Structure 1
Amino acid sequence: MAKSTTPQQSAAVRQRGVTMNDVAKHAGVSRTAVSFVLSNRENASISEETRTRINEAVQELGYRPNAGARALASQRSGWYGIVTEIVTAPFAVDIIKGAQDQAWLDRRFLLIAPSDQADAVGPNQGLEDAATEKLLEQRVEGLLYAATFHRGVHVPESANEVPTVLINCFDADGKLPSIVPDERAGGRVAVERLLKAGHTRIGVINLDPVIPAAVGRLEGAREALATAGLDLDPELVVSGYATADGGYEAAGRILDRYQGERRPTALFCLNDRMAMGAYDAIKERGLTIPGDIAVIGFDNQELIAAYLRPKLTTVALPFEKMGALGVQTLAALTAGQPIIADQQLVDCPLLERSSV
């Protein structure tokens, strides 16, 4: 028979942390019996009445298994860690959602550790190393490393202690697998949409020309034009450096450079913030969208694309899908299975709205 425990005694036990010995004492059984029941030991000769007493004691005392001890014993914690600088980004948090949803399907959980960029300096320098170490201390089974924008990164050396997958970035040292957007295909589908609408003279407002997104998206645009038998006029490519002000200035330069039939009838802006600036430049010149100038963006930054007038047709970065694929790849690695490729490209879908 289980020993009676006063509410005060139960509260005291909870406050100091309920142990398996406490459960055994409360149920009037041995600690071994409690261990067998809580671990669902099938070959243990324990009566249903005893199992019931033990489970009732667990509920009454609020016992929880020691996750650290269990992880040490099984070498499996049930946790993946994610080191990321994107916790407060307006749209890239979808990486976390995609990873979290996929992890839950595998009955895994995510521990999230924020960091600065890999090349950060100042008072937070070293935060990335510390974040990685803290996750490893929790005995995570694997690590995800997610970046705000597509680029090469140097991952802390300690990340090599467990399987690690990079999301929206790639290992500058070429050692770790990565999941990145197919920038080239995204640029191609954007310009193909403009060509389908009848536009043959297309201006491009570029990002910083050296980053992977700029290189890939511009190359995709060239490919789409070449397939249609057209060349990209270098005079119609101006960098806006990812800002609305930059997009405004770049669009103005393109539109003022040519008049009449030589003026471009469409602008491909390599992100939505630059497209927002281009809208202002177009309207200031008495032109309409999409009547005089069609505009297409990239990113699908919801706070911009869905609220511009007219609403912006854009190419979406597949953050949620990249997060899910990152977890799938990590699960394969932790299970010792082969992965598809060292770098996996994820399609960037076109979202039709009203600007083309």
Structure 2
Amino acid sequence: MARKQSTTGPTMHDVAREAGVSQATVSLVLNDVSGSRFSDATKDRVKKAVETLGYRTNAHAKVLREGVAGMIGFIGDAVATSPFAGKIIEGAQERAWESGLLLITINTGGDKELERASLETMLSYKVAGVVYASMYHQRVDVPAVLREVPTVVLNSEDKAGYFPSVAPDEVAGGFEATAHLLDAGHRRVAMINIETLESQLPGAVGRFDGYKRALESVGLTLDPSLVRFGTGGESDGFKYALELMQLPKPPTAIFCANDRTAWGAYQAMAEIGKRIPQDVSIIGFDNQETLAPHLRPGLTTLDLPFEQMGRRAVDLILDGIKPQGQLELMTCSLIERNSVEIIKESQ
């Protein structure tokens, strides 16, 4: 005769009966309560009973009991649809899952009304915290309602300086990119930026600052004639690379402040019959996987630590960080391919 189960699905009591243990034991095992000690055999019986019966924990009951759900909210402007920043979600999701939490992801597309409604829904579910993310590094106005819950700003910075933020170290990345060219023997190193310095875009300002510092580290003074300010697109990379190569004394290397700009620079070199890296070396920034490895030659570039940043944001929520406007910068790693030539004599 079949055991009687609840018409709404198996309960914790059903699991306890199936495993031959008490309901309290089932609860302690499933919630991995600190300090509870059970034999591996007991844990295995409980887990087998859960699988056999198809038992699911009652998330609503958990909220009533503990005040928070086993979920972390993740809301971004266009992170989920970005060709490369989606790794942020992977990192955050993996870290949440390691702690037995689910990640609820909302992609707003920059729609502030959708953002408002999504945040209200997340908060109504009593999420344990919220990751507030952007597709690219910028300073953002974080909704005040997030002061009600532990929140970390990701791949951006809180303009008000209230919430903790996790972002790439743009200055160190710009330094690393330029230093790699300098270490290869280049001394006329140009830069095509992704925005003006007046824009105050952290990526543009930071990468330029790193470029300047690297030049100064080997006793070089920044030459304004070797710097161009684009908008981060392929067309600007093409236009400004052509301009630079038409100088009376053109650069032997170009630091492009993102990979799309570098792609345009590649096309410019093909247009005028210059070889990469034999005639001019090019380095990018972003390590955009749909682009950088597929250029010919493969583009040497700086990798944005998306996955690590996603993990770190969830870590901070789990650690209960206090909102004091902390900014944590994460290292951008050099990815070497074949677009940089070592030259024997400084030029």
TM-score between the two structures when normalised by the length of structure 1 = 0.82
Aligned partner of 1:152 in structure 2 is: 139
Contact 1:332 1:338 in 2 (8 A): no
Q: Verify: 1:64 aligned to 2:45, yes or no.
A: no
Change over 3 Å in CA distance of 1:170–1:57 after alignment to 2? closer
Q: Describe the SS at the equivalent of 2:319.
A: helix
Q: Separation in 1 of the partners of 2:12 and 2:303?
A: 51
- Aligned-residue offset at 1:66: 1.8
Q: Verify: 1:349 aligned to 2:342, yes or no.
A: no
Change over 3 Å in CA distance of 1:330–1:59 after alignment to 2? closer
- Aligned-residue offset at 1:40: 3.9
Q: Verify: 1:246 aligned to 2:239, yes or no.
A: no
Q: Describe the SS at the equivalent of 1:302.
A: coil
Contact 2:162 2:324 in 1 (8 A): no
Q: Describe the SS at the equivalent of 1:328.
A: helix
Letter in 2 for 1:290: P
- Aligned-residue offset at 1:148: 0.3
Using the TM superposition, name which of 90-99 and 73-82 deviates more.
73-82
Q: Separation in 1 of the partners of 2:129 and 2:28?
A: 27
Letter in 1 for 2:232: A
Aligned partner of 2:165 in structure 1 is: 178
Q: Verify: 1:319 aligned to 2:311, yes or no.
A: no
Contact 1:27 1:54 in 2 (8 A): no
Aligned pairs, how many? Answer: 322
Deviations 1:137-193 (A, max 9, x none): 221111111110000111222211110001100111111000010000000001101
Q: Separation in 2 of the partners of 1:68 and 1:231?
A: 63
Q: Determine which of 164, 176, 180 is the counterpart of 1:189.
A: 176
Letter in 2 for 1:130: A
Change over 3 Å in CA distance of 1:225–1:78 after alignment to 2? same
Q: Determine which of 189, 208, 217 is the counterpart of 2:207.
A: 217
Q: Determine which of 114, 117, 142 is the counterpart of 2:107.
A: 114
Contact 1:153 1:172 in 2 (8 A): yes
Change over 3 Å in CA distance of 1:351–1:61 after alignment to 2? closer
Letter in 1 for 2:224: P
Change over 3 Å in CA distance of 1:54–1:229 after alignment to 2? closer
Letter in 2 for 1:115: T
Letter in 2 for 1:207: I
Q: Separation in 2 of the partners of 1:77 and 1:207?
A: 41
Q: Describe the SS at the equivalent of 2:285.
A: strand
Letter in 2 for 1:67: A
Q: Determine which of 71, 74, 92 is the counterpart of 2:85.
A: 92
The CA RMSD over aligned residues, in Å, is 2.9
Q: Determine which of 213, 225, 233 is the counterpart of 2:223.
A: 233
Identity %: 41
Q: Separation in 2 of the partners of 1:248 and 1:171?
A: 34
- Matches of residues 1-356 of structure 1 in structure 2 within 5 Å? 4-5=1-2, 14=7, 16-17=8-9, 23=14, 35-40=23-28, 62-84=54-76, 85-117=78-110, 124-209=111-196, 210=199, 211-256=201-246, 258-259=247-248, 262-333=249-320, 342-356=326-340
Letter in 2 for 1:331: L
Q: Higher Cα Rg: structure 1 or 2?
A: 1
Q: Which of 1 and 2 has higher RCO (CA within 8 Å, sep 6+)? A: 2
Deviations 1:78-98 (A, max 9, x none): 211111231111110111111
Q: Which consecutive unaligned segments of at least 5 residues does structure 1 have? A: 43-52, 118-123
Q: Separation in 2 of the partners of 1:317 and 1:27?
A: 51
Q: Separation in 2 of the partners of 1:61 and 1:290?
A: 63
Using the TM superposition, name which of 298-307 and 237-246 deviates more.
237-246
- Aligned-residue offset at 1:331: 1.0
Change over 3 Å in CA distance of 1:78–1:56 after alignment to 2? closer
- Aligned-residue offset at 1:205: 0.6
Q: Describe the SS at the equivalent of 2:294.
A: coil
Change over 3 Å in CA distance of 1:244–1:66 after alignment to 2? same
Q: Separation in 2 of the partners of 1:220 and 1:56?
A: 56
Q: Separation in 2 of the partners of 1:280 and 1:54?
A: 62
Q: Which consecutive unaligned segments of at least 5 residues does structure 2 have? A: 34-44, 341-347
Contact 1:329 1:339 in 2 (8 A): no
Change over 3 Å in CA distance of 1:58–1:107 after alignment to 2? closer
- Aligned-residue offset at 1:56: 9.4
Letter in 2 for 1:151: Q
- Aligned-residue offset at 1:39: 2.2
Change over 3 Å in CA distance of 1:139–1:199 after alignment to 2? same
Using the TM superposition, name which of 125-134 and 316-325 deviates more.
125-134
Q: Describe the SS at the equivalent of 1:345.
A: strand
Q: Describe the SS at the equivalent of 1:141.
A: coil
Deviations 1:29-69 (A, max 9, x none): xxxx9753542499xxxxxxxxxx99999767644332111
Q: Separation in 2 of the partners of 1:20 and 1:101?
A: 27
